[in-house]
Structure 1
Amino acid sequence: MPKTASVELDHALEPFVLALDVGSTASRGGLYDAAGRPVRGLRHKVPHQFRTASDGTSEIDPDAVLAEVAEVITEVTGRLPGRRRIAGVALDTFASSLVGVDDDGAPLTPCYTYADSRCAPQLRQLRGELDEAAVQQRTGTRLHTSYLPPRLRWLRETAPDTFARAARWLSLGEYVHLRLLGTTAVGTSTAAWTGMLDRRAGAWDAEMLTAAGVDAGHLSEIRDPDRPLRDDGRAGRRWPALTGAAWFPVITDGFASNIGAGAGDESVIAAAAATSGAMRVVLHGHPDTIPPGLWCYRVDASRTLLGGALNDVGRVVSWLEDTLRLDQDGLAVDREAALLAPPDDGAPVVLPYLTGERSTGWAGGARALFADVTAATTPTLLYRGALEGVALTYARVAEQLQQAGGRAHRIAASGRVTADHPAWLQVLADALGAPVEHVTMKRTTLHGTALIALEVLAPDVPRAPVETGRTYVPVAGRTEYYATRRTRYQQLYEAVVAPTG
């Protein structure tokens, strides 16, 4: 079968899946056939943005997102000939979202996103009360403002009336399902990203519920992807093409991204590189011990997503371009040439923490550091050094991934940075000491969301291979250079970042 390119409707294989993705910048969706190929002309996108403020606020209106998802469904199904039916609807969203609703399912709060950090004081309380190492081994997550225990405690302390009125606490995807279908459940991966799931048992963790101030009755039933929902008839009446469709429990975008990039088992590590980034591997089973720098999310009864997240990847590229004015004042830098050139000892060693660190040190107060800058340091060397620093943050995650999951045969890289700056993948391959395959397929998260549904709807249909481009192989002779860089990076990290906590 050819690699995953779009297919005309008349040549598409049934059953069809409508995949929906609520991301940080837009809600989007598209139709996929049984081979996992996007059906040409049947997709739609509605941009949005979070409401942010200097106090750490990061919110979005859940009803606005509900309207966006409905618009996507209307646009896609409206272009589908009347005789065609969609067998399943699969939804992924950004992780660690939270909406409080009343007894009627009406929202009492905005949707708080993973980036809302107003619960930092409550996080400090929890770190003083709980054994964080034990929490991580049990739930797969560290204590962090991205997760729900400190956020729920913050709401209980700062908005007690609202907290008391909340009948249920839902993720954004659960809220969308509740309003469209009249019922809802939480997908296992979405539950894992709350920081309150016992990763071995697949049930809500009692200690974390107590720490958050809620009980299991305030949360939804947990369902693996193979247990879809059925609507009460309202969705089928609104969109006839969805009559009888299975609605799959909402999953998280990280899980979908791995599957969509072709990294569905231990043989492939996915390296995602957009504004932020991650390295993740799907493991069969649930590991006994998790390295301290990583998270470990149960995604269903038999699979785990192990990995680490990086705050600053594309954000570093944008900052460099804006701050160094690389295209202005006669200082134009050929980015691709700079990244493909042999390493230069004159490049500074850079800790690229513009907005703090998640994996591997979880130092939220970390800030960027340019070291070993001299009068001879040029904009090209600054650029090269910073992008080497980003690659080394991936290498730190990869080292811990290997401890827990073994060495993967392939590394599959995808995302905006890889599309805009493919030469950076040579730097990444050299820093990792492993080949890096460029996944050129667009919308890998949507693709993965469709594939997870197709595991249930069309398990025996062969899937189209993922589109890939060049494989970047480590250049002989650069091993010592990057080993020296890693040592210097660690010295700087221990001296400057680690004490910030």
Structure 2
Amino acid sequence: MTGDGVVIGLDVGTSAVKALALNERGKVLTRVGRSYALSSGPDGSAVQDAGEVIGAALDALDALAAAVPGLPVLALVPSAAMHSLVLLDAAGTVLAPALTWADSRAAATLPDVRARLDPPGSYARTGCPLQAPYHPARLWWVRRTQPELWNRTARFVSLTDLLLHRLTGHGLGGNWATSVGLASTTGLWNLHTGDWDTDILAALGTDAAQLPAVYDAGHEVGRVQTGRLKGVRVLAGSSDGALANVGVDPLRQGQSVFTVGTSGAVRRLAAEPSLDAQARTWSYRLDRATHVSGGAINNGGLLLDWVRRQWYSEVEASAGFRQLWSDAARVPAGADGLTLLPYLTGERSPHWRSDLSATLHGLRLHHDRAHIARAALEAVAFSLKAVWSVGQQERNSALPSVYSTGGLAAEPGWNSLLASTLNVPVQVPNVADASAVGAALLGHTAHTAQALAARGTADPILQPIAAEVEALAETQQRWQTLFVRLYG
């Protein structure tokens, strides 16, 4: 694709949508964001109103288009939050609130669905562990707990699939579309055949006719039918996690990317899938040529916000976080013997256990909130290293550095801690909204990716601190020993 124009990257996230215009020189000309609600309950529900999400996305796109008048828009490319599930009737009407990745209610029916599906075989075919965030457990949960809703459901789509359908104006019986990247995160798509897995679908009482057609990331799925962007090509895009890697590693060199926001993740792009013998991690696709493997943790910024609310509540939020970082910086590696297991909301990789709870161990009179802050930061770093180590074992190789992204990457203290925990240099890319940038790159030429990569050579790199590497290794061993004693 050539021409002096922009590509719009549209990141449809869990709590907000972000749209940006990226020109061919790799410069973000403008960006627009809109937020929406995530409704959760004590039963483990975590749902969203599909109409609210789509309305926010359309509003953001309209505002962005108004901000770049006169510039040709070459394409619109979505970056999609993973694991959302929307139930539609035969007329395309939304039947229930959309399930998000955080909804854990399907865990109750996991023993039943595992009896119907061979967990190791399912993982080997799809790259997705047979766990609550994935569609096999969720579809079975709907079928068993809400049979009337199940019987009314004609189609299963994601929030981004629904948005694409509305944008491109497909009517009744129109061509529903999803991306390879998003399909690969459902647990219903076969990594090896490149299509929906008919055996898994049959075991769940459904078939591929109820799912969207699957298109590669750069494939055109339609054109915008209304508004300021009418006529603009819409590409299939991919998942937000995979595209975040592209945004910070535009030449797709395969470096590990650590991202910490509310939760956390470690991801790596490669030409082949990376499957773990114990199904501790997942392996998805960016597109038909590129795999993305890694794992996610539940308790990242969520844990730090809990520490702030419990021990820094006397000041407003931003001041509380600043004090938390300042306090943690004056405590030596190892938190003077204080150990925190961070499982406020259970855990995904590498344990996949919703029954885990948080524990603070080793408290003594000399400990104060600074030690708790330091122990919490170390717990997040250790959790991510536990996921990263699984991938390193599979690769049996090392890269010169890893990337640090997400909200915590703005804190030098976090990046330094991560470097010393991994004993690997940590590069901090100067890329805001990496998922949206990665999406926009799918609609640009290779020249744009090269321009972004050239800028990355100036990104700061933090080296491991030799005096802390050994102390943190000993502390992580203590942390792991406590986990084994409590949870086996």
What's the TM-score, normalizing by structure 1? 0.88
Specify the SS of the correspondent of 1:59: strand
Give the equivalent residue in structure 2 for 1:434: 424
Question: What pairs with 1:104-253 in structure 2 (closer than 5 Å)?
Answer: 104-181=91-168, 182=170, 183-231=175-223, 235-239=224-228, 241-243=229-231, 245-253=232-240
Select between 426-435 and 117-126 the one with higher mean Cα deviation. Answer: 117-126
**CA offset digits 1:251-281 (Å, max 9, x no partner):** 2111111111227535411000111110110
Q: Give distance in 2, aligned partners of 1:20 and 1:255.
A: 14
Specify the SS of the correspondent of 1:335: helix
Q: Give distance in 1, aligned partners of 2:34 and 2:351.
A: 36
Q: Give distance in 2, aligned partners of 1:450 and 1:63.
A: 24
Alpha-carbon RMSD: 2.3
Mark the CA change 1:318 to 1:287 in structure 2 (over 3 Å): closer, same or farther: closer
Question: Which of 447, 454, 462 matches 2:437?
Answer: 447
Q: Give distance in 2, aligned partners of 1:17 and 1:333.
A: 40
**CA offset digits 1:173-219 (Å, max 9, x no partner):** 11111122114311011101111111122211223213332101111
Question: What pairs with 1:84-483 in structure 2 (closer than 5 Å)?
Answer: 84-181=71-168, 182=170, 183-231=175-223, 235-239=224-228, 241-243=229-231, 245-262=232-249, 265-287=252-274, 292-325=279-312, 333=323, 335-336=325-326, 338-339=328-329, 342-344=332-334, 346-405=336-395, 406-419=397-410, 421-454=411-444, 458-461=445-448, 462-465=450-453, 469-483=459-473
Mark the CA change 1:264 to 1:200 in structure 2 (over 3 Å): closer, same or farther: farther
For the 8 Å contact 1:266–1:408, the answer to whether it is kept is no
Mark the CA change 1:57 to 1:261 in structure 2 (over 3 Å): closer, same or farther: same
Letter in 1 for 2:142: L
How far did residue 223 of structure 1 move?
1.1
Mark the CA change 1:474 to 1:168 in structure 2 (over 3 Å): closer, same or farther: same
* 2:50 pairs with 1:47: no
Specify the SS of the correspondent of 1:46: strand
Letter in 2 for 1:58: A
Select between 286-295 and 384-393 the one with higher mean Cα deviation. Answer: 286-295
Give the equivalent residue in structure 2 for 1:68: 56
For the 8 Å contact 1:258–1:264, the answer to whether it is kept is no
How far did residue 341 of structure 1 move?
5.5
Q: Give distance in 2, aligned partners of 1:86 and 1:359.
A: 40
Q: Give distance in 2, aligned partners of 1:294 and 1:193.
A: 12
Mark the CA change 1:362 to 1:451 in structure 2 (over 3 Å): closer, same or farther: same
Specify the SS of the correspondent of 2:269: strand
Mark the CA change 1:116 to 1:432 in structure 2 (over 3 Å): closer, same or farther: same
Select between 463-472 and 119-128 the one with higher mean Cα deviation. Answer: 463-472
**CA offset digits 1:32-67 (Å, max 9, x no partner):** 11233211xx33221111111111221111122221
* 2:9 pairs with 1:22: no
Aligned residue pairs total: 473
Letter in 1 for 2:96: T
Letter in 2 for 1:238: G
How far did residue 337 of structure 1 move?
6.0
**CA offset digits 1:330-385 (Å, max 9, x no partner):** x9956246337642562412211111111111111111111222222222122112
Q: Give distance in 2, aligned partners of 1:37 and 1:340.
A: 38
Letter in 2 for 1:262: D
How far did residue 131 of structure 1 move?
2.9
Mark the CA change 1:334 to 1:130 in structure 2 (over 3 Å): closer, same or farther: closer
Specify the SS of the correspondent of 1:363: coil
For the 8 Å contact 1:87–1:242, the answer to whether it is kept is no
Letter in 2 for 1:194: T
Aligned-pair identity in percent equals 26
For the 8 Å contact 2:9–2:78, the answer to whether it is kept is yes
Q: Give distance in 1, aligned partners of 2:387 and 2:205.
A: 33
How far did residue 250 of structure 1 move?
4.3
Q: Give distance in 2, aligned partners of 1:109 and 1:166.
A: 10
Give the equivalent residue in structure 2 for 1:3: none
Q: Give distance in 1, aligned partners of 2:255 and 2:355.
A: 32
For the 8 Å contact 2:16–2:35, the answer to whether it is kept is yes
Mark the CA change 1:22 to 1:159 in structure 2 (over 3 Å): closer, same or farther: same
For the 8 Å contact 2:222–2:233, the answer to whether it is kept is yes
What's the TM-score, normalizing by structure 2? 0.91
Select between 284-293 and 158-167 the one with higher mean Cα deviation. Answer: 284-293
How far did residue 497 of structure 1 move?
2.9
Q: Give distance in 2, aligned partners of 1:469 and 1:449.
A: 21
Q: Give distance in 1, aligned partners of 2:423 and 2:191.
A: 32
How far did residue 422 of structure 1 move?
2.3
Give the equivalent residue in structure 2 for 1:9: none
Letter in 2 for 1:269: S
Q: Give distance in 2, aligned partners of 1:88 and 1:189.
A: 18
Give the equivalent residue in structure 2 for 1:7: none
Specify the SS of the correspondent of 1:150: helix
Specify the SS of the correspondent of 1:346: helix
Q: Give distance in 2, aligned partners of 1:101 and 1:431.
A: 46
How far did residue 162 of structure 1 move?
2.6
Mark the CA change 1:270 to 1:162 in structure 2 (over 3 Å): closer, same or farther: same
